Amino acid sequence: MALQKVTVHVDEALLRKAQARTGAGVTATIRHGLELVAASGAYERLRALRGKVKLAIDLEALRADRR
């Protein structure tokens, strides 16, 4: 994985809220946010498939397997 060092200007309150949520430092928090943005495209493509994929699932067999 190639790394690139960057300087960013972010709202201090926003960064503190994000850090409180992640429990991580500045670098890890920014990296996590970037990963979420990058993954959002995949989530959008999955949501576009909602209701369009036909699955052959036997619900009774699945429920019996849980017992």
CB neighbour class for 63 (10 Å; exposed up to 12, middle 13-18, buried from 19): exposed
d(CA 65, CA 59): 10
The identity of residue 13, as a single letter, is: A
CB neighbour class for 32 (10 Å; exposed up to 12, middle 13-18, buried from 19): middle
Per-residue pLDDT of the chain (67 residues; tens, 9 = 90+): 899 999 999 999 999 999 999 999 999 999 999 999 999 999 899 999 988 888 788 888 888 877 7
Is the C-alpha dihedral spanning 6, 3, 32, 39 positive or negative? Answer: positive
User: Could you tell me the pTM of the whole model?
Assistant: 0.65
